Amino acid sequence: MNYEILCSKVVAIARLTGNFIRKESMNFDADAIEFKGLNDLVSYVDKSAEKQLVRNLSKILPLAGFTTEEKTINRTGKVYNWIIDPLDGTTNFIHGVPTYSISIALYEENQPVIGVVYEINRGEMFYTFKGGTAFLNNKPISVSKRTELADCLLATGFPYYDFDKQAEYIKLFTEMMRRCRGLRRIGSAAVDLAYVACGRFDAFFEYNLNAWDVAAGAYLVQQAGGQIMNFSGGEEFIEKREILATNGGISEEILVLMNDYFK
């Protein structure tokens, strides 16, 4: 398997679907939405984009399976499986906030080998592949080198349907505000992770995320020299549905704080 060539094909597919999403955003009717759950929105754009991605990705790896947010396909591959979010940041898209992305990861034998995050409106294509490094629009990227939390810009996400850990999260959020340079909430976990990979953010943390939200972005961070873990410092960030992505230099300091609130 030539992962670099395969990744270039995935990049082209992501860009094609991104063009479709960008075009639809120009005349999108915010009333044309459905509710999958509390504050969990979906539109025909999500579903159409996913079908387009599945169709084109199937052409380059016909036997691969898919894990997708909108569940337009149900297929598990023996070796290869795509993990896809066709529109990460749907709420932003619906409200006309211009930060949303396409997230595509390929797993081989349960290990990531390709990760692509396309931030549509800025035209920023983040990608990586096994045996290579991480890139943004053909230029190599790496995580930041900061080692003091006081010098760092962090990103997070807010719970919007499962509030069981809300009290602990608010306490942690408050403590982080006091200790870092600033906190941002963009509304697309895939973009947050891509920004950690290229050094714009020094860390990102959130809980209640799904595999399609983080699979590609997490691999980008790792390939760019960063660290990915759950709130306890373990490797099971997808299984536990909690993720901490850092540049590696501030991991220990953040984990100490998290241990005070998430045990």
Give pLDDT, residue 39.
Answer: 43
| Predicted structure pTM score | 0.94
In order along the chain (263 residues), what is the average pLDDT of each group of 10 residues? 97 98 87 59 84 97 94 92 96 92 97 98 98 98 97 89 77 90 96 98 94 97 98 94 96 92 73
Give pLDDT, residue 160.
Answer: 64
What contacts 102, CB < 8 A, 6 or more positions away? 14, 17, 18, 21, 49, 53, 85, 86, 87, 88, 116, 117, 118, 120, 190
Q: Do residues 247 and 234 touch, judged by C-beta distance below 8 A?
A: no
Q: Do residues 57 and 65 touch, judged by C-beta distance below 8 A?
A: no
Contacts of 68-76 spanning 24+ positions with Cβ under 8 A: 68/212, 69/210, 69/212, 70/42, 70/46, 72/47
Give pLDDT, residue 162.
Answer: 66
| 40 bridge partner residues | 37
Give pLDDT, residue 229.
Answer: 97
Give all domains of the chain, ordered by start, each with its CATH number.
3-141 (3.30.540.10), 149-261 (3.40.190.80)
Helices H / strands E in the chain, number of each: 7, 14
Give pLDDT, residue 38.
Answer: 47
Give pLDDT, residue 167.
Answer: 84
